[in-house]
Amino acid sequence: MILQRRQMSADVPAMAMGDIAFLLLIFFIILARVTDDSHVKVNKADGTELQKPQSKRVGIAIDTNQVTYLNGVRINPDMISDALYKPDAPPGQRGLLGDQPPGQRTVLLKIDKDTPASMFEPVIEAVSRAGGELHHVLEEKMN
Amino acid sequence: MKLRRQSLLTEPPASATSDIAFILIIFFLVCASVQQEDGRPQEIPNSDKEQQAKNPIRVNLERDHVKLNGEVLAMKTFRDKVGKLLAQKVNEAEKTVSIRCSPTVPYQRWMDVTAWIEDAGGTIALMRKVQ
């Protein structure tokens, strides 16, 4: 007599998929919040003939309260140059711009339009010293 | 005899919730990445190149006026004059415009002036007091 083996089924419960997906959703939202600076309040200056940035590796913002942020994290303006590029450090630890080739060293500058020069000039100088390519984020001027 | 009414309650299929959640993920990620980042690229040479320019055009930017090679000008006049000055220059080194800016000048004003200079073919060089 042949005894038929009982078949074992191991289905993934479809009900759990929703929970997994929601956890992923929360994970990605938190992650996105950490790296971007959308929470920084800036009244953009206006300009004409605006262009899209070549790359979006690094973003520096100065908000309405004249607080400086690097990739959404508060930073002392004196530390920006080192955070962007440290030529003496070993490869892989040379800052956010590191050894990126020209064209990939874009630094987005989002500065509040009323920020005084005493605040934004050191930032621009630090980016220039680190070999960054400045891209001022502006709003199209309405005529 | 009592007749039992058939229940009309129908549960949504559980397998669809994952699809809904994934669509939500995509929606939020797209929303997060659609920040307007249009603007103006700007090339500011480092200090070595600043020193290469022997007689740069000098601009002093103050909160209420602007000086071009020491001459106080209205903004519109400045724009015309700097354009004419740069048009006379032949090589790139001569087109360097060194800007000394008062600490109280707002970013909007600085952007306006530097944009005019760049549109006229000039290269910006920052002049700052060493602290």
Phi first, then psi, for residue B91 (nearest 5°) are -95, 165
Whether the predicted model's global pTM rises above the 0.80 cut: no
Residue at B29 is within a domain? no
Select from A20, A128, A138 the Cβ nearest to the Cβ of B39: A138
Greater model confidence, A79 or A5: A79
Look up the domain containing A102 and give its range: 46-140
ipTM attached to this prediction: 0.75
Task: Say if the Cβ atoms of B101 and A121 lie within 8 Å.
Answer: yes
Please tell me what DSSP assigns to residue B107: H
The number of domains in chain B is 1
**Rounded alpha-carbon distances, angstroms, from residue A71 to A3, A54, A59, B72, B89:** 66, 17, 5, 40, 40
Q: How far is B26 from chain A (nearest CA, A)?
A: 9
The number of domains in chain A is 1
Mean pLDDT of A85-101: 85
Q: What percent of chain B has pLDDT over 70?
A: 82
Residues of chain A in contact with residue B22, where contact means CB-CB under 8 angstroms, are 21
pLDDT surpasses 80 at A133: yes
Q: Considering chain B, what is the average pLDDT of its residues? A: 81
For position A68, what pLDDT does the model report? Answer: 95
Residues of chain B in contact with residue A131, where contact means CB-CB under 8 angstroms, are 46
Instruction: Read off the pLDDT of residues B105-128 as tens digits, 9 standing for 90 and up.
Output: 999 999 999 999 999 999 898 887
**Rounded alpha-carbon distances, angstroms, from residue B108 to A139, B7, B91, B111:** 11, 68, 30, 5
For position A32, what pLDDT does the model report? Answer: 64
Residue at A119 is within a domain? yes
Residue at B24 is within a domain? no
For position B129, what pLDDT does the model report? Answer: 64
Q: How far apart are CA B131 and CA A121, in angstroms?
A: 13
Residue at B21 is within a domain? no
SS3 A65: coil
Residue to substitute from B29, B40, B61, B113, interface A, most A β-carbons within 10 A: B40
Phi first, then psi, for residue A62 (nearest 5°) are -125, 120
Task: Say if the Cβ atoms of B39 and A136 lie within 8 Å.
Answer: yes
Look up the domain containing B52 and give its range: 47-127
Residue to substitute from B79, B105, B108, B109, interface A, most A β-carbons within 10 A: B108
Instruction: Read off the pLDDT of residues B46-85 as tens digits, 9 standing for 90 and up.
Output: 655 545 566 788 999 998 889 999 999 988 889 999 999 9
Q: Residue B3: which residues within 8 A CB-CB, separation 6 or more?
A: none
Residue at A39 is within a domain? no
**Rounded alpha-carbon distances, angstroms, from residue A125 to A107, B18, B83:** 12, 49, 25
Residue at B6 is within a domain? no
> Which single residue is written with the structure tokens 């000394």?
B100
Task: Say if the Cβ atoms of B107 and A112 lie within 8 Å.
Answer: yes
Q: In chain A, which among 2-31 make CB contacts under 8 A with chain B?
A: 14-15, 17-18, 20-22, 24-25, 28-29
Domain holding B109: CATH number? 3.30.420
Residue at A16 is within a domain? no
**Residue of chain A minimizing CA distance to B48:** A129
